[in-house]
Amino acid sequence: MRTMIFFAAVTFLAASTAQAAKPVTEADPATPSVAAWRTSQHPTTPHRAAPGPQGGPVSFSNATAITITDCPNPCPASGQAASLYPSPIVVSGVTGVVQRVSVTINGFSHAFPADTDFLLVSPSGRKSVLMSDFGAGSPGVSNIDVTMDDYAARPIPSTVTGNTGVPFVTGSYRPANSGTTDLFPAPAPASPYTYTLSAFNGDAPNGTWNLYIIDDANLDGGSISGGWTITFDDRPTPPAAGDILISEFRTRGAGTTPPGSDGSADEFIEIYNNTDASITIIDAIPGADPTSPTGAGWRFAGAQGATETTFLVLPQTLSTAGPIALPPRGYFLVSTQPTTPSPAGNTYSLATYPTGTGITASGSANVSVNPASATVGFFPDDVGIAVFSTAAAVTANRLDSVGYSSVTNADYKEGTGLSPAAGIVTAGQHSWIRKPSGNRLQDTGDNAADFQLVSTTGATIDGVASTLGAPGPQRGPTMTAYTTTSAPIVHTGDFAMAIIDPLQPSTSAPNQVRDPTPVTNGNLGTLKIRRMFTNNTGLPVVALRYRVSKIPTLTGGAASPQGDYRVLNSPTQTITLTDTTSVTGQALTVQTPAAQADGGGLNTSLAEGVVTTTAPLANGASTVVEFNLGVMVEGSPRFHVAVEALTVPPQ
């Protein structure tokens, strides 16, 4: 009897308001640049743009050209001041406080842009480094217009490994900086500095703004032919409920070191940008002052019963890195990194997922929490988790929440809540994942309906029937650099899928092969599904994997009614087609940790290791892979995967 199986990539959904399934995304459109307007009038004469929804942007320019003088050898610690130092712009007639400010460098040329440092100082004396040690290196830039805006979709490119192919061209970028050692010669104010433009939020806009520019290394110089422009604008509409989703989490795990850890503190929370635009983590309250004692950012909070018991405010910037932003359809990860019990060590067991690729599943930009209790972690077992787009727990700014049924605070749970009421207290490799619903993430407003427990054993855990699978936390691109340490995000809609042999039906060899030979985790043999995927992202892909979003497998220790299938590795192989030609099927490997001794299942990811930074899959190129499923119980299953790709630049 021939086993029939339905296989399809998750359907691509284009609507920007849709709640996409993990993993689901589309080609990420670039965030529109904040417009810059030049004027031939007096350098501090404003040129106003057409009004926006709340009154619109207003810009002021100083068109005087600036020579970026090469630093002598040896270069002093404070660098070489530019020919106009500072370059001033007098702002007048702007009402209210600063809500959003951006700076455009007009006609920027330099043989090694990372040598330049830019410091902006407001009339009140607030001071922020906008670009330092970033901007890439040789061959440099020529006459580009660079807008620095905290709400831009991408950071200024870096010179670090992994940025190959990322150009520094005219466009809008988030500020980026490396380190705290920047020195600017007098009359520039001394450090400490902030490192975002949002640091000026709440400040008075009118008065003289000064831009200080230095070159801090010898051999290369440059110029700014058109001076610079400062633009004041209304803040974008803050994210709302449904724009950000908690897509995966756990409050216990397996733990690794130190020896004897029970995994109680092996925790993570993954959030997902459910929109087609970059979202910057800035407090959603207009005019919020990030330099105030309460700061600005988003609140990750946990509650027990009716009371919030713990929280973490994720600031808009980490150290000097630059503004934190979530790319369209991208992820952000907070993980545990406890310092106790003794000896001090890291009990978080998934930091190296997936092993050997350079991609990590540690907290995004090292956002790891040292919990007060190594046996409880930073969230209690019976927690309700909420994410707010403000530093305070403001109900109107709650983005998403998930909690166990014992939680009674409405901000920290949706609907019925998860079982058991006391939470999952058994250590193991498991996690709660948000269920896919077609090509979307399910978000009905009821946690019990929307989340599913997966584990590497498929057993019943604390009374909950888990589905065989694996935790798969994903961290997004860093906030300061395009690098290949970011996790791939779903580009299912940007990859065309086809059978490998158009002369045969999809369920016949060589497109699908049923091999009865028993294998480990396939007592009844294997089902091999072969497909060709074509990269239509418009960009080279440097990491490629496939995540299982639907599979009939072990649940609660028993096979599902549709059968019991396990995801296995597949080898590199030559596959002969009907017309006697052949294609090469590339190897797929189940990604670990977590180790999956019983085979992969729901949320398991498979890596196509042949696609790397040195051997990218070019735009328009195709690849053939085999999904090798071990058959434990025969059935008529539906098997779905989604394509996750890391492009250069990441998007």
Q: C-alpha dihedral over 541, 545, 549, 555, to 10 degrees? A: -170
Alpha helices per DSSP H over 507-647: none
Are the C-beta atoms of residues 415 and 448 closer than 8 Å to each other?
yes
DSSP state of 540: -
Are the C-beta atoms of residues 506 and 7 closer than 8 Å to each other?
yes
CA 20: distance to chain centroid?
15
- Per-residue pLDDT averaged across 86-110, rounded? 96
Give the pLDDT band of residue 374 (cuts 50, 70, 90).
low
Domains and their CATH numbers in the chain: 6-18+486-647 (2.60.40), 46-233 (2.60.120.260), 244-281+295-468 (no CATH)
Residues 6+ apart with CB under 8 A from 651: 27, 28, 153, 154, 327, 328, 539
- Per-residue pLDDT averaged across 279-290, rounded? 78
State residue 6's pLDDT score.
29
- Alpha carbon distance 492, 504 (integer Å): 24
Which of 110, 118, 130, 119 minimizes the C-alpha distance to 70?
Answer: 110
| pLDDT of 73 over the 80 cut | yes
Answer with the residue of higher pLDDT: 367 or 511: 511
Give the pLDDT band of residue 52 (cuts 50, 70, 90).
very low
| pLDDT of 377 over the 80 cut | no
Are the C-beta atoms of residues 604 and 469 closer than 8 Å to each other?
yes
- Give the three-class secondary structure for 413: coil
Q: Quote the mean pLDDT of the chain.
A: 84
Which of 29, 329, 330, 32 minimizes the C-alpha distance to 173?
Answer: 32
Are the C-beta atoms of residues 401 and 385 closer than 8 Å to each other?
yes
- Alpha carbon distance 113, 139 (integer Å): 9
| pLDDT of 18 over the 60 cut | no
Tens digits of residue pLDDT in 409-454: 999 999 999 999 999 999 899 999 999 876 678 999 999 999 999 9
- Alpha carbon distance 10, 21 (integer Å): 9
Element (H, E) at 638: strand 638-647
Give the pTM: 0.87
Strand order in the sheet with 331-336: 368-369, 331-336, 268-273, 244-250, 430-434, 451-455, 467-468, 554-555, 558-559
Would you state the structure tokens that stand for residue 97, as one six-digit string? 């406080």
- Alpha carbon distance 567, 596 (integer Å): 10
Residues 6+ apart with CB under 8 A from 217: 71, 75, 112, 115
Are the C-beta atoms of residues 531 and 542 closer than 8 Å to each other?
no
Are the C-beta atoms of residues 397 and 390 closer than 8 Å to each other?
yes
List phi, psi (to 5°) of 491. Answer: -130, 40
| pLDDT of 55 over the 80 cut | no
- Alpha carbon distance 206, 58 (integer Å): 12
Neighbours of 451 (CB within 10 A): 21
- Alpha carbon distance 70, 632 (integer Å): 69
Answer with the residue of higher pLDDT: 351 or 593: 593
- Alpha carbon distance 392, 371 (integer Å): 20
| pLDDT of 361 over the 90 cut | no
Which of 497, 498, 502 minimizes the C-alpha distance to 578?
Answer: 502
State residue 260's pLDDT score.
61
User: Looking at 142-151, 257-266, 555-564, 623-632, which range is the least confident one?
Assistant: 257-266
State residue 17's pLDDT score.
25
Give the pLDDT band of residue 40 (cuts 50, 70, 90).
very low
User: Looking at 323-327, 492-496, 607-611, which range is the least confident one?
Assistant: 323-327
